[in-house]
Structure 1
Amino acid sequence: MNHRKSLLSAAIFSCIAFSAHAQDAAQTSPTDLDTIQVTGIRGSMEKSLDTKREANARLEVVTAEDVGKLPAHNVADTLQRLPGVNISSASADEGGFDEADRVSLRGTSPSLTQTLINGHTVGSADWFVLSQGNNVGRSVSYSLLPSELVSSVEVNKSSQAKLQDGGTTGTVNIITRTPLQFSKQFSAEASVGAVRSDQAESTDPQYSALFNYKNDEGNFGVLLQAFYQKRELRREAQEIPGGFTKIAATDPVAATNPDLIGVSVPGLLGSTLFEQTRERKGGLLTIQFKPTDALNLSLSGFTSELEANNYNRNFMLWGGNFAKSQAPNPGYTVVDGVLTNATYAGVPGTNYGVYDMIYREATAKTSYVTFDADWQINDTLDAKFQAGTTKGTGETPRQFIAEVTLGQGGGASWATHGAGSPVDWNIGGDISPNGVTSFGTWGNQLVKAEDKEDWATLDFSQYFSAGTLSSIDFGVRFADHEREALSPEGATPGDIWAALEGSATGNYPSGFAGDVGGTFPRNIWYYTPDALKTAIINNSTWLAGNDGPTGRHNYGAEWKVKEKNFAGYVQANFSGDWWAGNVGLRYVNIKQDINSYNAVANAADADVSSLFGMWERTAFENKHDRVLPSANIKFDLDDDLVLRVAASQTQTLPDYSALGASSWGSDLNRTGGGGNPNLKPTLSTNLDANLEWYFMPRGLLSVGAYHMDMKDYIAFDVVKRQLYSELTNQLETYDISTPINADGKVTGVEVAYEQPIGDYFGFNANYTYADGNTDHTWSDGTHNLLGTSKNTYNVGAYFENERFGARVSYTHRSSFLISLSGTNPYYQDDFGTLSASLNFKATDWLSISLDGLNLNNPTYKYYQSAAIPTSFYSNGRQYYLNFRFKY
């Protein structure tokens, strides 16, 4: 007997006797929300609390104060202020940026949180090249979703049978506006502003506009929104790519210094400058028509494109080239298995430094088209139909890369100070352009990711006028999803160095990485992006679509996952005098086809080949079907006191790259990653209880607890695999991080408090405690759950009268395990961000706002262990000034 299911069934059916009418999907859908003319801080907070209070499931809500005016400038930054919500600014191991990009719930990874728009999926894409091919999750990039489109955001923390499956820990539903919601026949709004990035020393434009029309009869309307936003960013950092590695007994230095066997040393220590231009543009068009009072039709299309060209320079001490073969000078120190202090005398012919300059042209796009029909068939039966298609594309068409060695014969040194402080390091010799001893380039290769889905849903609601059974919801959904990584063409480099040598150079900015601290090289030169791009383009042979042994088709970077998902559900909604709730079942049937490539050594075993090696095609098929039960109950214990209890089972499929990615590796440290097509979905058994006291208008005190028991949770292990090396032109052994199934649990407590003070002031705070663990043992001996921050809290205050508004907010998240970087654990340390906004309503048609982000100028810290840091990032502050015009 399955003990897990027995416990859940008992919890669910004990709720049936008290079950209540669940809030119908239409109740919080864009077509049925109250008028959007809710403006101001107090109005948005009141509407959010009203929606939360009336819902019959665990729900958090954020309502826009006005068009384009969320409580924070960024959608993800807004959500992190809710209890149980965490954010991160990166999807792979590209490190921390100044803007939130991923959202997760209740101490788990972003891939276990589902993000929808108006109740449907949205094709996602990333600008970062590793997230386009090697590290592809199921989370959505919020960088493509501007706040101007948002009417409200709902965070469903407890599951219902009628909710789309896929969010193990919950679902975020972003709700946009619809034409017939507007009170006036004509509405027009525009925002003209600028963003100032203090570290990038740049001021850039921000524009958005909205036009809405509905006819006199109020049964036809057109809504058009458009946006264009540009932003420069500069990140100054110390990076340790791949972390520290251990000296093996077979390494040459072990013969002279046996005490160093098993001791960790840095493979690379970097002084890193990243600069990027982000241009986001797109819009939303919605047409709504009600031919009769009983029939509501709408057609909606959305597109967003982010151009994100970037230049990353990493000047590095190359420990991997000497630390395992050369003995350090006497006097070195080893503490807790780490070579914490070491100096190396210069050896003629040895390069102590390596320098990567990587300029990438990158884009990310997303779009969708949906058709919706809402038909009230009769007084007791409603039907809803939706069909749509969505596509996300992330593409890096060109990478212009120079890798040079330098510091020959100059020696090197480093000193570590634990995970919380940068490593002090230096290399000797000639590190100017004249000191370059060798040149290499790679990656002049197209990398593209496509994410597509077509879907259709049909939902019914049958209402009853008597008895405790108030309605039954039932329906079906079908989706055809495909995620693919492509690298079909590239360029063969010629004599690029001859063209690049002596080209235009620039220098790291003065005061570089001053906020990071530490002592390491800062006065560093680099080739300008134009010089690098020109030299590579003019001295490379582009082999477009050229397959075969002499082509540049990188099959090893390609994979495809196709999924067909059919679901059906039934949900009974009950209500009584002082209670309400629902109980339901959702059946999910999924078929997966997974295609990728494995490297082989012999031509006889190869299906395809190119200059990158030889491969055999692999194909896998997985089938999963499951019934997912859920129950929610709400007790109105008093006029102002609400108790909620919920139980459910939820499921999330493994990340796309976890299933499909072919193995890949880095020649610098012989580590990499790959997929595992045999992974099972994560099945979570969830229990939730929450007590809410609405002690006054806009006032709330709530306390809740939750538990998630996750079977077949995704963790990572390290295995050895044979991959083709471009350095040696043969198969070599790499340490590959590969996903595996391992059970996990997380138990948590959430506390939230909102308190208006008088007519104009207010205060809000929340705290989340999450205790997560897995039965998988990481290489550092821990059992951490990916994404689990033990402590998260938010505090904020606001003031608002008829003309002026202001709010300040501070959020803090404790350290958590992200994943593996190379073969080493990759943690982000505690961090907190301070933001503030000022608003002035000059006239009925003009308002002015000033938003400040990252006002405390945080340094984002990452580490491998308590003794070994991984990176330190400084992004600076951002200020947004906007003039909003309304007609």
Structure 2
Amino acid sequence: MTLHVFAPRNAVVLSCVSPRKRGLVIACGFALLASAAAQAQEVATTDSAQTLDKVVVTGIRHSIETSVETKSEATSIVEAVSAEDIGKLPDISIADSIARLPGIATQRVDGRSQVVNIRGMSEQFVGTTLNGREQVSTGDSRGVELDQYPAELINAVTVYKTPDAALIGQGLSGTVDLQTIRPLEYGERRIVVSGSGEKNSFGDLSADSSDTGYRASASYVDQFANDTVGVAIGIARLDSPFQEKHYKAWWWADTDAWGAPQDGKPAGAVALQGSEGWIKSHELKRDGVMGVVEFKPNDTWHSILDLYYSRFDQDENMHGAMWTNDPWWNADENGVGAVSYSNIVTTDVDGVPVITRGVLNGVQPVVRNDNNTRDDKLYAAGWANTFTWGSWSLLADLNYSKAEREQSTLETYAGLLGPQSIGFELSPGQGFNQYALPDLSDPSSVHLWDPQMWGHDGRLENSRQEDEIKAARLQLTHQMENSDWMRSYDVGVNLNRRTKEKVSQTYFADLLNDRAPATVDPALLMSPTSLGFVGMGNLLSYNARDLLSRYYDVRLSESNDDLRKDFTVDEDVDTFYLRANLDMDLTERVRLRGNAGVQYVHTEQSSTGFNATSDAIVGAQTLGASYGDILPSLNLVADFGDGWMVRFGAAKEMMRPPINYLSADSSASVSEITNEWSGGGGNPLLEPYRANSADISFEKYMGPASYIALALFYKDLESYIYQDNMPWDFSGYDPDGKTPISDFGTFYTWKNGTGGYMRGVEVSTTLAGDLFSDALTGFGLQLNGSYTESSIDPDGPDLGSSTDTIPGLSKVVANATFYYENHGFAARISERYRDKYRGEYSSLFGQRQYRYTLSEKTVDLQLSYDFAETSRLSGLSLLFQVNNLNNEPFRTEASESTGTGIFLPEEYTEYGRQYLIGFSYKM
């Protein structure tokens, strides 16, 4: 007899975020105490209860119960997310699902969740594996961009917060393991197809944008040959529109302090030195394929072949206006700038006068029409074979991972031919500022040319990047059948060979006829784009690539910064490990389990890059380093019965430096005056971040879908990597015809230095309504909050920091989910909150930049209905979903540049709401 209990597929989040950040954690703590009091109402299981052969639970109950079981049964301190049904994580984004876990936050890029930060540390400190195998990244360093992995093809995610000696590719902050389905474990045939339409609330913001898209997926799982062969296949297609309304203040300063006053500007007043506004549309297309073949003909041999492929294409169009109005722009021979002020009004900000209203005179706004394309391909394959004889087993695993990225960024410039006056009204707080610009949409008066005097009329950069891992693993396991304290032990080795290569070319586009300004053929124009949200009016708009061959002469032109983008980094990482799996009865009531082990990790790294002068390559170089680390780890779980557990973890950890830090690129030369070497660039000699950590977690489990937990963690980073001048051996560099007085000089680069602590507290609970009363059956609540702090100075221990956090550190992170599911109906509302933090983003011309990102509260909503088994539509589910329900903006701020100590708004960007309506059908 089989009883199917069908619960709705989707659940919902309610935030415990309050304006007072520490109060948020306290509030969550009170929620935990309240749930503990509810233990008295647990429903006892009676002997008269009917025994059923099998209960199949799907939907949110299945997801929560599986996740809670994973957490409770783990020997490490972990968090888990499980699919509600085959190929269905609770969110449409893997990053969103992970970011709902305690102590974890997501970083939004272009309006979507892309990478995660664990316990206050950026994505560069996070290890990511697929079925236990280290993954490459499509970005320029180690941080894996999770939007490359369709949620429809991932069955579960486990986040390890404490190290395990047998876990390969571990991160310093944590390790995210993505897991695909195991068809023999699933145990039945299942076919699922789903589809949904998608719409952005902004509508079509420009003539070349789209506000509609779709998602579609199909999965098939089956078993053959008396359940000795299992097959799982999944495909997923995404065609998603993302749009944004963007404003940014370039920088703020009182230029009087630098001896550069401007006409009409009050003495000592802080002024905005440049602005930009734009509309940007992204068309994202992603195709994902997952395949698993599992073969277990007997108890001796078990073989699993995993295959994964993803292709992610992004076509981005931007239409905007921008300008500089600093005192040095277009200055005459006496250093007097072209821009002046009139009708000025100032506002007091923390005792400092800030110009917030007036008119800028002599400005020449540039109209930008840009197009950026990106084509990412991700491959992963793994073949694991386990051979078992008696109490011994041998795992042999071969795996391969490769990422390719081809990227092209094109920008073109246009504008009115003469200086302009711009009225402005700024807010010292967050929001869209307002500007009054002349008409920038008239085809007869807006010309293609270089209004901002950048020295070229357009710029094109093409880059190619490839990241590849080849790895092999052997693990011998022995089951200790007669031991009173050890369940088993593992001895293993993992050999990993990784190569990351990047090549970039930069071109300048100059207008034909000696860069003479030109008007655009009306046949090539599209409808003007409105920047009314910032008062900038309409803009002349066109497809930049359509004009490239017709109006421009494109020539290769690379500065030393461009030349230095080319690099190759090789890493050979050999990991040897021993792990004892512990299981013993300390008393009649207390059971102790866990593991104790040690890794020895030997690393050889090298990089080949260029030494570039101002406009030429004067030599290539290959540099590298070799080092070894002994990493002991201990994980213990004391099970006191009745659901009470205490977990303890202690370990020595390490994380290799970000790959782009290891580039051998440099710009170095011999001074013509002192004949001494100096330069700057990457550092292939870097050693890892190293830390000692301790964790403790107090947990109470109350049935299959309810628990409360309080966790404390502490990391002592013995080393941290920051930028500084350091002595450098230039003997491998080309002096370009000069004779240095020594091979040694100074080099500005990344270097190893002292670190500091990371510490924090996490509280979390999952509560089913029937834990309190039968009247609340179907209701549920998930809450978690964390507080994290650090003593690490991100700019180095001796330099004095202009920032107060390391990248990725939000002191307060909180999530809440409130859901209801019963009789086929499900509703879920979710909110994620993260405190302000120092984020790392791609910046101008592909460089990396740290920016002060303000707090975010993102709300999502899901409604669904599953038709009952007795219905003629059995197996069909309907879904309505809204992502970013509150249209939460992305906000950053910048410190004023002349030492006043005040912070002023920098970027304010809105992405709109994403509406989805769709279905899922399972057979």
**Aligning the two structures, in what range does the TM-score lie when normalised by the shorter sequence?**
0.7 to 0.9
Deviation at 1:216, TM superposition (A): 3.4
Deviation at 1:541, TM superposition (A): 6.5
Find the counterpart in structure 2 of residue 732 from structure 1: none
Report if the CA contact (8 A) 1:310-1:361 is conserved: yes
Report if the CA contact (8 A) 1:490-1:552 is conserved: no
* Distance across 2 between alignment mates of 1:798 and 1:647: 36
* Secondary structure of 2:361's aligned partner: coil
**2:804 alignment partner AA:** H
- 1:36/1:344 CA distance change after superposition, 3 Å: farther
Does the alignment pair 1:864 with 2:894? Answer: yes
Deviation at 1:631, TM superposition (A): 0.6
Report if the CA contact (8 A) 1:108-1:788 is conserved: yes
- 1:813/1:779 CA distance change after superposition, 3 Å: same
- 1:72/1:429 CA distance change after superposition, 3 Å: closer
- 1:109/1:528 CA distance change after superposition, 3 Å: same
Deviation at 1:766, TM superposition (A): 0.6
Find the counterpart in structure 2 of residue 706 from structure 1: 713
- 1:143/1:594 CA distance change after superposition, 3 Å: same
* Distance across 2 between alignment mates of 1:36 and 1:738: 60
Deviation at 1:741, TM superposition (A): 4.0
Deviation at 1:599, TM superposition (A): 2.4
Find the counterpart in structure 2 of residue 751 from structure 1: 763
1:324-335 matches, within 5 Å, as 325=337, 326=339, 328-329=341-342, 333=346
Q: Provide TM-score, normalisation by structure 2.
A: 0.79
Report if the CA contact (8 A) 2:448-2:457 is conserved: no
* Distance across 2 between alignment mates of 1:429 and 1:793: 46
**2:609 alignment partner AA:** S
1:703-782 matches, within 5 Å, as 703-715=710-722, 739-742=750-753, 743-758=755-770, 759-777=777-795, 781-782=802-803
Does the alignment pair 1:109 with 2:122? Answer: yes
Does the alignment pair 1:158 with 2:167? Answer: no
Find the counterpart in structure 2 of residue 29 from structure 1: none
Deviation at 1:354, TM superposition (A): 2.4
Find the counterpart in structure 2 of residue 370 from structure 1: 382
Does the alignment pair 1:461 with 2:477? Answer: yes
* Secondary structure of 1:88's aligned partner: strand
1:619-768 matches, within 5 Å, as 619-660=622-663, 662=665, 675-715=682-722, 739-742=750-753, 743-758=755-770, 759-768=777-786
* Distance across 2 between alignment mates of 1:524 and 1:40: 48
- 1:296/1:659 CA distance change after superposition, 3 Å: same
Does the alignment pair 1:473 with 2:496? Answer: no
Report if the CA contact (8 A) 1:200-1:233 is conserved: no
Find the counterpart in structure 1 of residue 570 from structure 2: 562
Map Cα deviations across residues 526-564 of structure 1 (whole Å, 9 max, x no partner).
Answer: 3222xx212203456778xx9xx9999963331121111
* Distance across 1 between alignment mates of 2:549 and 2:57: 54
Find the counterpart in structure 1 of residue 368 from structure 2: 356
Map Cα deviations across residues 93-136 of structure 1 (whole Å, 9 max, x no partner).
Answer: xxxx332100121011111011111001222215xxxxxxxxx2
1:335-346 matches, within 5 Å, as 339-341=354-356, 343=358, 346=361
1:84-123 matches, within 5 Å, as 84-90=103-109, 97-123=110-136
**2:379 alignment partner AA:** S
* Secondary structure of 2:142's aligned partner: coil
Find the counterpart in structure 2 of residue 130 from structure 1: none
- 1:437/1:160 CA distance change after superposition, 3 Å: closer
Q: Provide TM-score, normalisation by structure 1.
A: 0.82
Deviation at 1:489, TM superposition (A): 7.8
Deviation at 1:401, TM superposition (A): 2.0
* Distance across 1 between alignment mates of 2:236 and 2:64: 26
Find the counterpart in structure 1 of residue 412 from structure 2: 402
**1:694 alignment partner AA:** Y
- The percentage of counterpart residues that share the same residue type is 22
1:804-819 matches, within 5 Å, as 804-819=825-840
**2:233 alignment partner AA:** L
Map Cα deviations across residues 713-735 of structure 1 (whole Å, 9 max, x no partner).
Answer: 2345699xxxxxxxxxxxxxxxx
- 1:222/1:616 CA distance change after superposition, 3 Å: same
- 1:856/1:740 CA distance change after superposition, 3 Å: farther
* Distance across 2 between alignment mates of 1:36 and 1:105: 36
Deviation at 1:84, TM superposition (A): 0.9
Please, which runs of 5 or more residues in structure 1 have no aligned partner? 1-34, 91-96, 127-135, 514-519, 602-611, 665-671, 720-735
Deviation at 1:276, TM superposition (A): 1.0
- 1:228/1:535 CA distance change after superposition, 3 Å: same
Report if the CA contact (8 A) 2:653-2:690 is conserved: yes
Report if the CA contact (8 A) 1:273-1:508 is conserved: no
* Distance across 1 between alignment mates of 2:57 and 2:581: 30
- 1:407/1:534 CA distance change after superposition, 3 Å: closer
- 1:512/1:198 CA distance change after superposition, 3 Å: farther
Find the counterpart in structure 1 of residue 179 from structure 2: 175
* Distance across 2 between alignment mates of 1:196 and 1:437: 34
Does the alignment pair 1:522 with 2:529? Answer: no
* Distance across 1 between alignment mates of 2:231 and 2:264: 78
Map Cα deviations across residues 497-528 of structure 1 (whole Å, 9 max, x no partner).
Answer: 64745554445666854xxxxxx433221322
Report if the CA contact (8 A) 2:104-2:119 is conserved: yes
**2:277 alignment partner AA:** S
- From 202, 223, 230, give the equivalent of 2:232: 223
Map Cα deviations across residues 482-509 of structure 1 (whole Å, 9 max, x no partner).
Answer: 1111125868655296474555444566
- 1:508/1:166 CA distance change after superposition, 3 Å: farther
- From 267, 277, 284, give the equivalent of 1:271: 277
1:608-623 matches, within 5 Å, as 613-623=616-626
* Distance across 2 between alignment mates of 1:285 and 1:679: 39
* Secondary structure of 1:83's aligned partner: coil
Deviation at 1:858, TM superposition (A): 0.8
Map Cα deviations across residues 830-874 of structure 1 (whole Å, 9 max, x no partner).
Answer: 111111212211233212222221111111111113532221111
* Distance across 1 between alignment mates of 2:71 and 2:202: 40
Does the alignment pair 1:832 with 2:857? Answer: yes
Find the counterpart in structure 1 of residue 810 from structure 2: 789
Does the alignment pair 1:573 with 2:591? Answer: no
* Distance across 2 between alignment mates of 1:383 and 1:586: 19
Please, which runs of 5 or more residues in structure 2 have no aligned partner? 1-53, 205-210, 451-455, 586-590, 668-678, 727-746, 771-776, 868-872, 896-901
Report if the CA contact (8 A) 1:36-1:151 is conserved: no
Does the alignment pair 1:594 with 2:607? Answer: yes
Deviation at 1:203, TM superposition (A): 2.5
Report if the CA contact (8 A) 2:524-2:546 is conserved: no
* Distance across 2 between alignment mates of 1:164 and 1:245: 48
**2:62 alignment partner AA:** G
Map Cα deviations across residues 419-448 of structure 1 (whole Å, 9 max, x no partner).
Answer: 534444445687755144833444333211
Greater Rg over alpha carbons, structure: 2
Find the counterpart in structure 2 of residue 728 from structure 1: none
* Distance across 2 between alignment mates of 1:653 and 1:322: 46
* Distance across 2 between alignment mates of 1:788 and 1:740: 21
Find the counterpart in structure 2 of residue 722 from structure 1: none
Find the counterpart in structure 2 of residue 32 from structure 1: none
* Distance across 2 between alignment mates of 1:257 and 1:790: 39
- 1:629/1:50 CA distance change after superposition, 3 Å: same
- From 841, 845, 853, give the equivalent of 2:875: 845
**1:761 alignment partner AA:** F
The farther-off stretch of 503-512 and 160-169 is 503-512
* Distance across 2 between alignment mates of 1:718 and 1:504: 51
1:276-315 matches, within 5 Å, as 276-315=282-321
* Distance across 1 between alignment mates of 2:367 and 2:426: 21
* Distance across 2 between alignment mates of 1:314 and 1:794: 36
1:395-474 matches, within 5 Å, as 395-396=406-407, 398-406=408-416, 408-412=418-422, 414=424, 416-418=426-428, 420-427=430-437, 432-433=442-443, 434-436=445-447, 438-439=449-450, 440-465=456-481, 466-474=483-491
